[in-house]
Amino acid sequence: MENISKNKSFGGWHKQYSHVSSVLNCEMRFAIYLPPAANEKPVPVLYWLSGLTCTDENFMQKAGAFRKAAELGIAIVAPDTSPRGDDVADDEGYDLGKGAGFYLNATQAPWDKHYRMYDYIVKELPELVEQTFPVTQQRAIAGHSMGGHGAITIGLKNPERYSSISAFSPICHPVKAPWGQKAFSAYLGAGEQALWAEYDSCELIRQTVNQASDRLNIRVDQGEDDDFLQQQLMPEALEQAAKEADYPVEVHRHKGYDHSYYFISSFIDDHLEFHARFL
C-alpha cells in the first residue's frame, strides 16, 4: 500500500492510498480521515460510497465532514466508485463502466473480470483498513446517489457488519430507473430479473417483511429540487416498501435543495450524528 497524500485537518489526518486489489484485479485508490481520537485508541469507521463519475476525492474535499467527524471520533473511509486501469472495460456513457461500478458483482463479460465492487466494499477494503489503521470493527455505511443505492443495499444484505445506514438522494428502485436498468443489463444480464432484485433497496426491504431481527436504522435525505428525483431516484418507492415491511426508514425532504454537494454539505453533520448514536 502506498501513501499518495496526507493533510492535517481539525486535528486529524486525511490520507490517500493506492493498493493492488486482488478482488478487482487492478490498482485501486481510497482515502481515509482519522480523527484526533485515533491517536489515543481505535475508533469506529463510516464507509462513504460516492455517486456516478466520482472518485474518493469528491466527498473528502466537498462534504465538509471532518469537523464533526473529529468531534465525534469517527473515521471516514471513501473508496473509488469503480475499478480503474487501461485494461478495465469501459463505456462511452458516464453511467456505465469506469466511475459507475454500482457496488455490485458483475456476472457478464467483459465486466466480470474487474467489476466486483460489492466484494471490494464488503470484504477486501475493510480488512485492509482494519489491519492497517487504528480503527475498530464497528462500521456504518453511507453514500450519495449511486453510492446511496450501494450503501442501502450493502447494509441490508450485511446487517451483522454495520451499525446503521444513511444516504443522500439514493437510487432507491434501480430495477425501475433508467440508470439502474442500463447498468444491471450490462453487468448482470438483460433477462436476469431475480439477480437484479438482489441489488435493489426496495426489493431487499420487502424480503424482510417477516423478519424482526437484524434490522438497521436507515436515514435518507432528499432534495425536492433534485433534477433526478422522479425518474431516477424514486424515494416514495422506498418509503412504500419500508411501510409494507415495517422497516425503520426515515426520509427527510428538503425544499430548494438539488443533487449536488451543496446539499450534502448542508446536512452531513446530521448524518454523522445519526451514525454516532448507533456506533
C-alpha cell at position 180: 439502474
Residue with grid cell 418507492, as numbered in its chain: 237
Taking residue 106's Cβ as centre, other Cβ atoms within 10 Å add up to 24
- Helix, strand, coil shares of the chain, percent, nearest 5, are 35, 25, 40
Contact yes or no for 202/233 (Cβ under 8 A): no
> Rounded to the nearest 5 degrees, what angle is found at the Cα of 178, between the Cα atoms of 143 and 149?
15
Strand intervals (E) in the chain: 2-9, 12-21, 26-34, 43-49, 75-79, 135-144, 165-168, 218-223, 249-254
Grid look-up 444513511 returns: 166
14 φ, ψ (degrees, to nearest 5): -100, 125
* Residue given cell 456504518 in the structure block: 140
Selected catalytic residue, list 14, 173, 259, 275: 259
- 144 catalytically annotated: no
Contact 185, 199 (CB under 8 A): no
Decide if 275 is catalytic: no
CB count within 10 Å of CB 128 equals 18
Catalytic residue chosen out of the listed positions 50, 82, 145, 201: 145
Q: Is 149 a catalytic residue?
A: no
Active site residues: 145, 226, 259
